[in-house]
Structures are given as C-alpha cells and as structure tokens.
Structure 1
Amino acid sequence: MTWKKLDQIRRENPITDREEYDESYAEASLAFSLARLVYGLRTQAGLTQTELARRMGTTQSSVARWESGGSMPTIDLLDRLGQAVDVRLELVASPNDDTEPRDTGSSAVAFGSR
C-alpha cells in the first residue's frame, strides 16, 4: 500500500470515535511490541518456533500467533519464554507521558532465568 492510497483511505474513513481509536491503537502497538520481543528472543537464542514451544510447554502455532501479533502472551507465558531462552524479563510501569523522566527502580518486576 502506498502513502497516497493510505491518505485516501483516511480521508474516506475519518475517525469518529477518538477514544476507541486510541485504545485500539495502543492494543495493536502492545501486540506488535510483544511480537517483536518473542521473535527477537527466539532468533537470538537460535531456536525454531517448534523448539521454543517445546521448551515452553506450548505449541508451535501459539508461538507463531505471538510472533505475528495475532494473540498476546500472558505474563505466565512471558515468564516461561524468559526461562526457555535463559533471559530475565522485566515488566516496567511508567507514566503515559513519554516526556517525563523514567524512574524504573521501584516500578519494575523481574522474572525469568537471571
């Protein structure tokens, strides 16, 4: 799809519910970030989807869905991912405003192998 085509689609389909749009955009962004995380950790560990799934006790199709952004792994599954690839994952809470300084010391939760 070209930018010109995308602009045309946006003009023909204006956003009518900004709150719903923002929520959907945030959810899609999170799914994409988690997809990149799963794919990156798997490939960095030199594993196939099947091997990662075996180590996590799940199915290859589940790993494929996470990597495509089709579904989001739960915190329990992210913990198992960290253990499967021998990394420590951290869940960090931060303000919505990206311009604010980040204090991750007391708002981080670590889980995984390290």
Structure 2
Amino acid sequence: MSYFKQRLKQSLENPEFMQEWEANEVEHQIARSIIKKRKQLGLTQMELARSLHTTQSVVSRIENADQNLTIGTLKEIAKVLEMDLQTMMFPVTDLESETGLLP
C-alpha cells in the first residue's frame, strides 16, 4: 500500500476529515483522471496548458483540485485529453474492467 493510501486510510478515521473528503471526492476524482490521462499521453503540464490556452499554474491548480471548473472547461480538457466527461468523473476501475462489473 502506498504512503498516500496509508495516510488517507488513517485520516478517514477522523469524522471531520471523512465528511470533507466525501464532499470533495468528485473534484479529486476529476483531478486524478486528468493527471493520469495527461501522463498516459506523455504531456507535461506546460504542454497541456498550451493546448488549453492557459498557463501551467492553472493546470497545476486543476490537478490539485484547487480550481473551480465550468462544464465548458471540463469539456475542453476532455477534448484535448481525448476522453469523455463521464470517464473523467467516473473512471472504470481495473477490477471493474477485469470482472465485467460495469454499471
């Protein structure tokens, strides 16, 4: 188990942390999806920023879930990263794809 997952597991035992985590889970999932896809495509934050006509610091804030995003911005990011919004927000896990347990 990674250090992050260990710390998260410990932190989720705190009811206040758990409440905040659940309230922001979609934003964090979107950020994780963007990071994963950007890296799969071999893009740097700067290259993604250029494609989105923005700055590297904005991409960094998006990837840290520190940027409020409009649906239009999400669509543009999805287009550049060659993915759809549903996959960005609700990715299929490896276990789901291996077992066929898709929603």
Structure 1 length-normalised TM: 0.55
Q: How many residues align?
A: 83
* Aligned counterpart in structure 1 of residue 41 of structure 2, from 42, 45, 62: 45
Secondary structure at the counterpart of residue 46 of structure 1: coil
Alpha-carbon shift at residue 81 of structure 1 (Å): 0.9
* Aligned counterpart in structure 2 of residue 60 of structure 1, from 52, 56, 59: 56
Alpha-carbon shift at residue 38 of structure 1 (Å): 1.1
In structure 2, distance between residues paired with 1:37 and 1:69: 11
Gaps of 5+ in 1: 16-20, 93-101, 103-114
In structure 2, distance between residues paired with 1:36 and 1:67: 7
Alpha-carbon shift at residue 32 of structure 1 (Å): 1.4
Higher helix share: 2
Gaps of 5+ in 2: 1-5, 90-102
Structure 2 length-normalised TM: 0.60
Higher strand share: 1
Give the match for residue 79 of structure 1. 75
* Greater relative CO, 1 or 2 (CA 8 Å, sep 6+): 2
Percent identity over paired residues: 30
